Amino acid sequence: MITHKKLDNNYEYIEIKNNQAEAKIALQGAHIFHYKAKNRPALLWLSETSFFKEGKAIRGGIPICFPWFGPHKTDASLPQHGFARTALWEVVLEEELDENSSHVQLQLTSDEESLKLWEYKFDVRLDIVVSSELTVTLTVTNTDTKAFEFTSALHSYFNVSDITNVSVEGLDGSNYIDSLTDKTYIQKGSLSISEEVDRVYFDSSNSIKLHDKSNTIHLKQKGSNSLVVWNPWIEKAKKMVDMPDDGYKTMLCLETGNIGEDKIILKPKEVHLLEVIISSRL
């Protein structure tokens, strides 16, 4: 069942329920902020102090970063992570594929407001398939008469029992940029988290595993050669108004993306697809 709902402040979202899973998707940002497979814990982390209001990004779930990731490289006054995550997207398709799978497609296209922030014409579609796995596909089409360059990410926040219990598999041997030091390193073995982490990994496996105490989250990635790993840790969490002071303990971001040197250049009419399939298993 696919149902359109509103919060008390008229904030619009879609609720999906079928035999295998449930999900919630905000129309602002095409933002998936809840996903839970049958008989499994909620997979996505959501801050209990997150904003659900016009113009504010949700802290948690899967924000869409486009057409740039992080701060704009030449104009710091432009929105962090681009404008897609706070823009109102249009629902163009809703369908029950069968009793176990539901599909929603949302669209964002260039308009007068976006052209003030980014001078290119584009068409972006987000396809979400809710089933025993969560499939998220971001398709960018250049509808302009000139080529453009962009960076993007599916900025996924994952629920964990405690950050000290987790390890990330699939990064061994990958080069990464540590954004805290602006230095490049090579990952050795699996990754554990014991301090603030803000890294962009390149040439990692297309299959990433987030091992927790009694659960493993699997990511299968396509169209991506970069993965962000982020946890704000103690001091930064305290400074974030939309995250509890101890919020860092129960979340880890693994962000499928095209970031930094993995930027995408599209000629007119060209298309790029970025996809992640996420599942949770014992």
Catalytic residues: 155, 255
* DSSP class of 253: E
Nearest to 72 by CA among 149, 146, 145: 149
Distance between CA atoms of 210 and 28, rounded to whole angstroms?
Answer: 28
H helix runs in the chain, sequence order:
112-117, 233-239
Spatial distance between the Cα atoms of 37 and 20, rounded to a whole number of angstroms: 6
Q: What is the CA radius of gyration of the chain?
A: 18
Cβ-contact 257, 224 below 8 angstroms:
yes
Q: Which of 57, 198, 58, 85 has its CA nearest to residue 152?
A: 85
Contacts 24+ apart (CB under 8 A), 107-111: 108/30, 108/84, 109/143, 110/143
β-bridge mates for residue 130, sequence order:
102, 134
Residue written as tokens 């049958």? Answer: 38
CB 265 within 8 A of CB 271: no
C-alpha–C-alpha distance, residues 142 and 228, integer Å: 25
Q: What does the block give as tokens for 10?
A: 């008229």
